[in-house]
Protein backbone atom coordinates (compact mmCIF):
# COMPACT_ATOMS: atom_id res chain seq x y z
CA UNK A 1 0.00 0.00 0.00
CA UNK A 2 1.48 3.37 -0.91
CA UNK A 3 2.30 5.53 2.07
CA UNK A 4 0.58 8.91 1.93
CA UNK A 5 2.92 11.77 2.82
CA UNK A 6 1.99 15.28 3.96
CA UNK A 7 3.09 17.10 0.77
CA UNK A 8 0.03 17.86 -1.35
CA UNK A 9 1.27 16.94 -4.84
CA UNK A 10 2.20 13.30 -4.09
CA UNK A 11 -0.93 13.03 -1.95
CA UNK A 12 -3.14 14.01 -4.90
CA UNK A 13 -1.41 11.52 -7.20
CA UNK A 14 -1.67 8.69 -4.71
CA UNK A 15 -5.28 9.52 -3.89
CA UNK A 16 -6.11 9.38 -7.62
CA UNK A 17 -4.35 6.04 -7.94
CA UNK A 18 -6.32 4.31 -5.20
CA UNK A 19 -9.64 6.04 -5.75
CA UNK A 20 -12.21 4.33 -7.96
CA UNK A 21 -15.65 5.78 -8.53
CA UNK A 22 -17.51 5.97 -5.20
CA UNK A 23 -14.77 4.29 -3.16
CA UNK A 24 -13.45 6.20 -0.15
CA UNK A 25 -10.56 8.57 -0.77
CA UNK A 26 -8.67 10.58 1.78
CA UNK A 27 -7.60 14.20 1.76
CA UNK A 28 -4.84 14.62 4.29
CA UNK A 29 -2.53 17.36 5.44
CA UNK A 30 -0.77 17.85 8.79
CA UNK A 31 -3.72 20.09 9.81
CA UNK A 32 -6.59 17.73 8.98
CA UNK A 33 -8.02 14.66 7.33
CA UNK A 34 -11.25 14.29 5.38
CA UNK A 35 -12.55 10.94 4.14
CA UNK A 36 -14.51 11.38 0.95
CA UNK A 37 -16.92 8.68 -0.18
CA UNK A 38 -19.97 7.82 -2.21
CA UNK A 39 -19.32 10.40 -4.94
CA UNK A 40 -21.93 10.35 -7.71
CA UNK A 41 -23.30 12.76 -10.28
CA UNK A 42 -26.80 13.14 -11.68
CA UNK A 43 -27.16 12.59 -15.43
CA UNK A 44 -27.49 15.93 -17.23
CA UNK A 45 -27.87 17.12 -20.82
CA UNK A 46 -26.29 19.96 -22.69
CA UNK A 47 -29.02 22.14 -24.10
CA UNK A 48 -28.85 24.42 -27.09
CA UNK A 49 -26.70 27.47 -27.24
CA UNK A 50 -25.91 30.10 -24.66
CA UNK A 51 -28.58 32.78 -24.34
CA UNK A 52 -27.70 36.44 -24.02
CA UNK A 53 -28.28 38.02 -20.63
CA UNK A 54 -28.23 34.73 -18.75
CA UNK A 55 -24.51 34.49 -18.02
CA UNK A 56 -23.52 33.03 -21.39
CA UNK A 57 -21.48 30.07 -20.18
CA UNK A 58 -24.05 29.12 -17.58
CA UNK A 59 -27.07 28.52 -19.71
CA UNK A 60 -26.13 25.34 -21.57
CA UNK A 61 -26.87 22.92 -18.80
CA UNK A 62 -26.19 22.29 -15.15
CA UNK A 63 -25.45 19.23 -13.10
CA UNK A 64 -25.16 18.12 -9.50
CA UNK A 65 -22.56 16.05 -7.68
CA UNK A 66 -23.23 14.46 -4.30
CA UNK A 67 -20.55 13.17 -1.96
CA UNK A 68 -20.19 12.39 1.76
CA UNK A 69 -17.40 14.19 3.64
CA UNK A 70 -16.32 12.59 6.89
CA UNK A 71 -14.09 14.31 9.42
CA UNK A 72 -12.51 11.81 11.82
CA UNK A 73 -10.36 14.46 13.48
CA UNK A 74 -10.71 16.57 16.61
CA UNK A 75 -10.90 19.86 14.70
CA UNK A 76 -13.66 21.05 12.36
CA UNK A 77 -12.75 21.50 8.70
CA UNK A 78 -14.40 23.26 5.78
CA UNK A 79 -14.94 22.55 2.09
CA UNK A 80 -13.93 25.83 0.50
CA UNK A 81 -14.44 25.16 -3.18
CA UNK A 82 -14.69 22.57 -5.90
CA UNK A 83 -13.71 22.47 -9.57
CA UNK A 84 -14.14 20.21 -12.56
CA UNK A 85 -13.27 20.16 -16.26
CA UNK A 86 -16.84 19.20 -17.16
CA UNK A 87 -18.32 22.51 -16.01
CA UNK A 88 -17.46 26.18 -16.19
CA UNK A 89 -17.99 26.70 -12.44
CA UNK A 90 -18.80 24.59 -9.39
CA UNK A 91 -20.75 26.15 -6.55
CA UNK A 92 -21.70 24.84 -3.12
CA UNK A 93 -25.49 24.85 -2.69
CA UNK A 94 -28.11 23.82 -0.20
CA UNK A 95 -31.68 22.99 -1.16
CA UNK A 96 -34.08 24.01 1.57
CA UNK A 97 -37.61 22.61 1.96
CA UNK A 98 -39.87 25.43 3.02
CA UNK A 99 -43.39 24.06 3.47
CA UNK A 100 -43.38 22.27 0.12
CA UNK A 101 -41.46 25.01 -1.72
CA UNK A 102 -37.90 24.05 -2.66
CA UNK A 103 -35.35 26.84 -2.46
CA UNK A 104 -31.73 26.52 -3.52
CA UNK A 105 -29.12 28.80 -2.00
CA UNK A 106 -25.38 29.10 -2.61
CA UNK A 107 -23.11 28.80 0.41
CA UNK A 108 -19.57 30.17 0.65
CA UNK A 109 -18.39 26.93 2.28
CA UNK A 110 -19.57 23.65 3.81
CA UNK A 111 -18.61 23.06 7.46
CA UNK A 112 -17.58 19.52 8.38
CA UNK A 113 -17.75 19.15 12.17
CA UNK A 114 -15.02 17.44 14.18
CA UNK A 115 -15.84 13.75 14.48
CA UNK A 116 -18.79 14.26 12.15
CA UNK A 117 -19.74 14.43 8.49
CA UNK A 118 -21.52 16.40 5.81
CA UNK A 119 -23.57 14.11 3.59
CA UNK A 120 -24.69 15.63 0.30
CA UNK A 121 -27.88 14.19 -1.19
CA UNK A 122 -30.74 15.12 -3.51
CA UNK A 123 -32.90 17.79 -1.90
CA UNK A 124 -30.07 18.85 0.42
CA UNK A 125 -26.46 19.89 0.13
CA UNK A 126 -24.93 19.44 -3.30
CA UNK A 127 -22.21 20.67 -5.62
CA UNK A 128 -23.85 22.55 -8.48
CA UNK A 129 -22.03 22.28 -11.77
CA UNK A 130 -22.84 25.38 -13.83
CA UNK A 131 -22.28 25.54 -17.55
CA UNK A 132 -21.53 21.94 -18.48
CA UNK A 133 -18.85 21.48 -21.11
CA UNK A 134 -20.22 18.07 -22.02
CA UNK A 135 -23.29 15.94 -21.42
CA UNK A 136 -23.18 13.73 -18.32
CA UNK A 137 -24.27 10.24 -19.35
CA UNK A 138 -25.06 7.39 -16.95
CA UNK A 139 -22.09 5.08 -16.54
CA UNK A 140 -19.47 7.75 -17.15
CA UNK A 141 -17.28 9.21 -14.42
CA UNK A 142 -16.66 12.87 -13.70
CA UNK A 143 -13.54 14.08 -11.88
CA UNK A 144 -14.12 16.79 -9.27
CA UNK A 145 -11.33 18.43 -7.26
CA UNK A 146 -12.30 19.42 -3.72
CA UNK A 147 -10.35 21.99 -1.69
CA UNK A 148 -10.57 21.79 2.09
CA UNK A 149 -9.32 24.47 4.42
CA UNK A 150 -7.22 22.08 6.52
CA UNK A 151 -7.16 18.75 4.69
CA UNK A 152 -5.97 20.26 1.43
CA UNK A 153 -6.96 19.18 -2.02
CA UNK A 154 -8.39 15.92 -3.30
CA UNK A 155 -9.66 14.77 -6.70
CA UNK A 156 -12.57 12.30 -6.65
CA UNK A 157 -14.26 10.33 -9.37
CA UNK A 158 -18.05 10.64 -9.35
CA UNK A 159 -20.08 8.03 -11.20
CA UNK A 160 -22.91 9.46 -13.33
CA UNK A 161 -26.33 7.90 -12.63
- Residues at the contact surface with another protein, assessed by CB under 8 A: 42-48, 51, 53-55, 58-59, 61-64, 88-89, 91, 93, 95, 97-98, 100-108, 122-123, 126, 128-131, 135, 161
Q: Which is nearer to another protein, 17 or 101 (CB)?
A: 101
Query: Cβ distance 158 to 144 under 8 Å?
Result: yes
The CB-of-75 to another protein minimum distance in angstroms stands at 26
Q: Which is nearer to another protein, 30 or 53 (CB)?
A: 53
The CB-of-64 to another protein minimum distance in angstroms stands at 4
Q: Which is nearer to another protein, 74 or 98 (CB)?
A: 98
The CB-of-117 to another protein minimum distance in angstroms stands at 19
The CB-of-81 to another protein minimum distance in angstroms stands at 12
The CB-of-127 to another protein minimum distance in angstroms stands at 9
DSSP string, the chain: -PPPPSSHHHHHHHHHHHPPTTS-EEEEETTEEEEEEEEEE--B---S---TTS-GGGTT-EEEEEEEEE--SSS-EEEEEEEETTEEEEEEEEEEEETTEEEEEE-S-EEE-TT-EEE--TTSEEEEEEEESS-B-TT-EEEEEEEETTTEEEEEEEEE-
Q: Which is nearer to another protein, 48 or 139 (CB)?
A: 48
Query: Cβ distance 92 to 107 under 8 Å?
Result: yes
Q: Which is nearer to another protein, 23 or 54 (CB)?
A: 54
Amino acid sequence: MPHVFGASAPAILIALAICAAGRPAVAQQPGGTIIVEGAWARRAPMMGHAMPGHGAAMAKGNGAVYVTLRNPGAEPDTLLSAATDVAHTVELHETIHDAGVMRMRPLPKFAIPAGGQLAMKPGGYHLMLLGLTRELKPGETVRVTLTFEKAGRLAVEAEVR
